[in-house]
């Protein structure tokens, strides 16, 4: 009997991980889209379109909706991941009149926005000789000017730069020969040099974005989680958070970006795959082992605030944070110099499978993807409820 009570208490902790005094609301979505298939990818939103990917019976589909939730077109982008945690991983990426997808099995495709016609496709395993990651290719492609960057993860064809209009190879880098990490690369300009910063399975890599030359490598712990969070670059520094065993690290880019130096490390700030954000001089994300949201000072790496809201995905909009925890609760949070105040929260009851997809605020709306459902809310209304 005592053991059952303990198990019940643990279950209630995970289901009710918001302090009792917090205001809970029950907002009505502007619209609900269902039937988009299995997936954990967030949508991509423009002024006139909403794009989202999903897996149906092993095939990946890109869905295009108008801003009221009416389907405009649906196109297949290739085979999609149908094993562990089946469904789409990478969010679509929009550039001008084109939208790009990447499947868990390595199919990169480019579509015209208006018609959904497939303009070109490349498979990272068959065409670029890559080696897939344990949970499937999960990183969105990175678009920068006329280029598209992807991570096949092969021993020789490790990181590749393609022409985004044709899919033709611009350069190939051997990287460090490891399979890829699980987050999109980052292009930054440091002084007079453009760098591509990306994760392999067990390291952070810095490359010359123009040529693909490997400049430096920062090794992760062999006992740590796989890297899933995109780094943040600010004022000459890189911030990474790579889960348990790695935690958070601040790196300084030296000279023209050809070298790095570790400034501080906080092993307890261990967001695994929910992402983290920077507002002012503070980093915000979930501390997975402690089942809390934390903030840390970007100068020192010291913890400055905490919020009892479980663990999950983090995004930001203006001065606010939007949290989406793995119990299905959404929280609107007001940060203030590292402190966090929960404004309100509500529960997502539609959809399927795990609550893993990152929330997105775009065009004054909040988009929450939960498996086969996409819920769209008036963001300003959420702030005022």
Domain ranges of the chain: 225-347
Check pLDDT > 80 for residue 3: no
Lowest mean pLDDT among 9-13, 314-318, 327-331, 368-372: 9-13
pLDDT band at 24 (very low <50, low <70, confident <90, very high): confident
Region 375-379: what's the mean pLDDT?
97
Region 167-182: what's the mean pLDDT?
97
162 and 119 Cβ atoms separated by less than 8 Å: no
pLDDT of 19 reads 46
Residue 127 corresponds to which tokens in the numbers above?
């065409």
pLDDT of 23 reads 66
pLDDT band at 22 (very low <50, low <70, confident <90, very high): low
Region 9-17: what's the mean pLDDT?
37
205 and 271 Cβ atoms separated by less than 8 Å: no
pLDDT digits (tens, 9 = 90+) for 239-255: 999 999 999 999 999 98
Region 117-141: what's the mean pLDDT?
97
Burial class (CB in 10 A: 0-12, 13-18, 19+), 176: middle
pLDDT digits (tens, 9 = 90+) for 180-205: 999 999 999 999 899 999 999 999 99
Backbone dihedral region for residue 78 (phi beyond 0: left; psi -120 to 50: alpha; all else: beta): left
105 and 137 Cβ atoms separated by less than 8 Å: yes
Region 317-325: what's the mean pLDDT?
95
Check pLDDT > 80 for residue 265: yes
Q: State whether the Cα torsion 84-86-92-98 is positive or negative.
A: positive
Identify the bridge partners of residue 232 per DSSP, sorted by sequence position.
239
First and final C-alpha spacing in the chain = 42
Check pLDDT > 80 for residue 20: no
Check pLDDT > 50 for residue 10: no
Whole-Å CA distances, 88 to 18, 194, 338: 30, 30, 34
Query: What is the pTM (predicted TM-score) of this model?
Result: 0.92
For domain 225-347, the CATH architecture is Beta Barrel (2.40)
Q: CA 50 to CA 46: how far, in whole Å?
A: 6
* Mean pLDDT value across the chain: 93
SS3 content of the chain, % helix, strand, coil (to 5): 5, 50, 45
The DSSP line for 143-205 is EETTEEEE----SSS-EEEEETTT--EEEEE-TTSPPB-SS--EEEEETTEEEEEEEBSSEEE
Check pLDDT > 70 for residue 264: yes
pLDDT of 18 reads 44
pLDDT of 15 reads 37
pLDDT band at 9 (very low <50, low <70, confident <90, very high): very low
pLDDT of 83 reads 87
pLDDT band at 385 (very low <50, low <70, confident <90, very high): confident
Whole-Å CA distances, 342 to 320, 330, 334, 369, 377: 10, 10, 6, 21, 18
pLDDT of 89 reads 96
Distance of CA 322 to the CA centre of its chain: 14
DSSP element (H, E) containing 381 = helix 379-384
CB atoms within 10 A of CB 268: 15
pLDDT above 70 covers a percentage of the chain that reads: 94
pLDDT band at 222 (very low <50, low <70, confident <90, very high): confident
pLDDT of 287 reads 93
Q: CA 18 to CA 24: how far, in whole Å?
A: 9
Residue the block writes with tokens 């000789």: 129
Backbone dihedral region for residue 106 (phi beyond 0: left; psi -120 to 50: alpha; all else: beta): left
pLDDT band at 225 (very low <50, low <70, confident <90, very high): confident
pLDDT band at 223 (very low <50, low <70, confident <90, very high): confident
Q: CA 347 to CA 345: how far, in whole Å?
A: 7
Check pLDDT > 50 for residue 99: yes
């Amino acid at each position: 009997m005592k053991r059952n009570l303990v198990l019940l208490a643990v279950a209630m902790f995970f289901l009710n991980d918001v302090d009792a005094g917090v205001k809970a609301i029950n907002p009505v979505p502007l619209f609900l889209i269902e039937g988009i298939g299995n997936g954990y990818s967030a949508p991509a939103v423009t002024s006139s379109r909403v794009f989202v990917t999903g897996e149906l019976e092993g095939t990946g589909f890109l869905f295009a909706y108008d801003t009221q939730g009416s389907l405009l077109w649906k196109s297949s982008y290739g085979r999609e991941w149908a094993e562990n945690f089946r469904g789409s991983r990478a969010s679509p990426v929009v550039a001008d009149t084109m939208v790009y997808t990447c499947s868990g099995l390595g199919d990169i495709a480019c579509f015209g926005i208006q018609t959904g016609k497939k303009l070109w496709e490349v498979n990272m395993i068959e065409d670029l000789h890559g080696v897939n990651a344990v949970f499937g290719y999960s990183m969105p492609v990175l678009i920068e000017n006329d280029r598209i960057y992807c991570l096949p993860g092969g021993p020789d064809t490790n990181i590749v730069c393609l022409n985004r209009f044709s899919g033709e190879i611009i350069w190939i880098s051997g990287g460090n020969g490891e399979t890829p990490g699980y987050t999109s690369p980052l292009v930054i300009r440091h002084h007079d040099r453009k760098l591509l910063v990306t994760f392999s399975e067990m390291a952070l890599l810095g490359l010359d974005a123009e040529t693909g030359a490997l400049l430096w490598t920062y090794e992760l712990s062999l006992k740590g989680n796989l890297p899933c969070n995109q780094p943040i670059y600010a004022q000459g520094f890189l911030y990474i958070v790579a889960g348990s065993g790695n935690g958070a690290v601040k790196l300084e880019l030296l000279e023209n970006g050809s070298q790095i130096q570790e400034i501080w490390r906080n092993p307890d700030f261990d967001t695994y795959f929910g992402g983290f954000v920077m507002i002012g001089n503070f980093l915000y994300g979930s501390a997975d082992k402690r089942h809390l949201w934390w903030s840390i000072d970007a100068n020192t790496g010291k913890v400055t605030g905490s919020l009892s809201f479980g663990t999950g995905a983090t995004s930001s909009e203006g001065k606010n944070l939007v949290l989406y925890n793995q119990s299905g609760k959404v929280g609107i949070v007001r940060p203030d110099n590292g402190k966090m105040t929960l404004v309100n929260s509500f529960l997502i009851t539609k959809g399927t499978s795990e609550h893993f997809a990152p929330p997105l605020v775009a065009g004054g709306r909040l988009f929450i993807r939960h498996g086969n459902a996409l819920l769209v809310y008036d963001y300003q209304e959420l702030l005022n409820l």
